[in-house]
Structure 1
């Protein structure tokens, strides 16, 4: 088990289990965990049930975190699962300016007449126009990709170029449909860490290029979205627009960027998604990944690699890559 970094704020939420026991929704505070299935007046089946009544439950959680008389358990010794099982996962692509520029340069065809500098300048202008015209790029992921923050990541035998993409994930608190940018953050309960793994070799359909991207194939293998370790309430995240997103591969820093580089912040993404789809409590909105993916470094994931992902105030996840047994 990785060293369990404490989150920002007085408490966070997670899903835990003791040896030999089943998972339970828990309140984490000062290195100890309270079983919410016992502490709340009602018995929640999981964290999603807590989120479904977020506005009335949040003040109760604040009081519970300050109550030393309750039946707290030490975090040490508990297994940490993915904090929740979402019904829907909305993923934002091409949302970090520098990342998109790097990918464009990396995917240039051999006969592209542009210099590297010309290619970077051209895609930078496109990114700035997208931001000005309010055109996020969002697609759908499968809940079956969710894995725990310390679980092994199985690399499928067919995935020839598996890559990492560490991301800030917003957790929805209440149904949101056609909400404005100004009110969008009122629908966010908190934030967690997601590593949105991608097989670069299957991103584009080679049999029919006009179809474009194949998100099912490249992103939706079981366990391809390690999540957590915790959900930190939005009120405890000091500066959403300047969080440090850092991924280390075998101890070497590969991604290290501020959320300031995002073209579309959380409010704009939530509002944009809600114009088409109804967001539900516990849904995830992944906000895109910064520069420094494996395709940029020319170094993709392989058996035995260890990824350590952190975001300011949200803790640390640590996952080991394991080749699929053929």
Structure 2
């Protein structure tokens, strides 16, 4: 029996109108050429019959890969999705949160040692995982850009930071979904770098504990997305992937998705109790340790970010502008 290839979906431009493509082994073919009669309505247009489309394309390409007419490098890669809703989990990696608290010297007593702070925060994280719920906020789809596009840093912020994240693309409506059924809502997986202007997060004019996710996270190009949507059928375990971000070639983030406080299923189940999940929604699942805050190094004009997650491809973004 012929082994079915793993595939991915993306949006591409080759000098003409953008098209939806299927990717296998470094080559790209137009989905419309492989599914006769399918109008090219983007990756979202495949979601109504997602499982059947994925299975049909895998079988077709196993038999005949010749419709994969392009090499990836011949095409401009665009953001693979244009979601109606963009939802993001925060403070969702144990090591990341513990490092933040230790780096900030935040403990219950002012005289606590680093080891005491770490032990205290670890206990808090254990209890949060046991009895708490995910912290989720909404973003703006207008902040999405492509996996190779320039990132235009805000000139009014000096601490523009990276936050590489695994993101789930929702494939079916979800409301009050049981935990054990939550992953069935996922059509596929992609990569999102949830850039944050750290110095714009606090809003001291609105109170001592107020935060502003709009200014700090939603500027245009602050969500490089893609390169592809990899079907759930091609990802064995979303909690066993490695997230790696390199800044100018130096590894800054390198962590397993196993370090999540709340796994993907828990995030989706929680969200479905609070909001109506819609096909095409993108759900970010948090960023691991290794942000610029930890390294004391933030994004500057001319920086190059290379970001990847196991089996999902690589983003390559160049930073432009920013604070002088």
Q: TM-score with structure 2 length normalisation?
A: 0.93
Q: Where has structure 1 moved over 6 Å in runs of 4 or more?
A: none
Q: How many residues align?
A: 318
The answer as to 2:129 corresponding to 1:101 is: no
Structure 1 gap segments, 5+ residues each:
1-7
1:5 paired residue number: none
1:228 paired residue number: 226
Is the CA contact 1:11–1:65 (under 8 Å) kept in the aligned structure 2?
Answer: no
1:68 paired residue number: 65
How far off its partner does 1:258 sit? Answer: 0.7
Structure 2 gap segments, 5+ residues each:
none
How far off its partner does 1:160 sit? Answer: 1.7
Q: TM-score with structure 1 length normalisation?
A: 0.92
How far off its partner does 1:68 sit? Answer: 3.1
How far off its partner does 1:61 sit? Answer: 2.2
1:36 paired residue number: 31
Q: CA RMSD in A?
A: 2.0
DSSP 3-state at the match of 1:275? helix
The answer as to 2:43 corresponding to 1:47 is: yes
- Equivalences for residues 1-326 of structure 1 within 5 A: 10-19=6-15, 21-40=16-35, 41-66=37-62, 67-70=64-67, 72-108=69-105, 112-323=110-321
CA distance 1:9–1:161, shift in 2 (3 Å): farther
CA distance 1:312–1:184, shift in 2 (3 Å): same
Is the CA contact 1:50–1:57 (under 8 Å) kept in the aligned structure 2?
Answer: yes
How far off its partner does 1:209 sit? Answer: 3.2
Is the CA contact 1:37–1:44 (under 8 Å) kept in the aligned structure 2?
Answer: yes
Q: Provide the C-alpha distance between the structure 2 equivalents of 1:186 and 1:229, rounded to a whole number of angstroms.
A: 22
Deviation sequence 1:28-76 (CA, Å, 0-9, x none): 1122212123432220311111123313322222233323353633323
Is the CA contact 2:300–2:322 (under 8 Å) kept in the aligned structure 1?
Answer: no
Q: Provide the C-alpha distance between the structure 2 equivalents of 1:59 and 1:246, rounded to a whole number of angstroms.
A: 30
Q: Provide the C-alpha distance between the structure 2 equivalents of 1:267 and 1:11, rounded to a whole number of angstroms.
A: 23
How far off its partner does 1:135 sit? Answer: 1.0
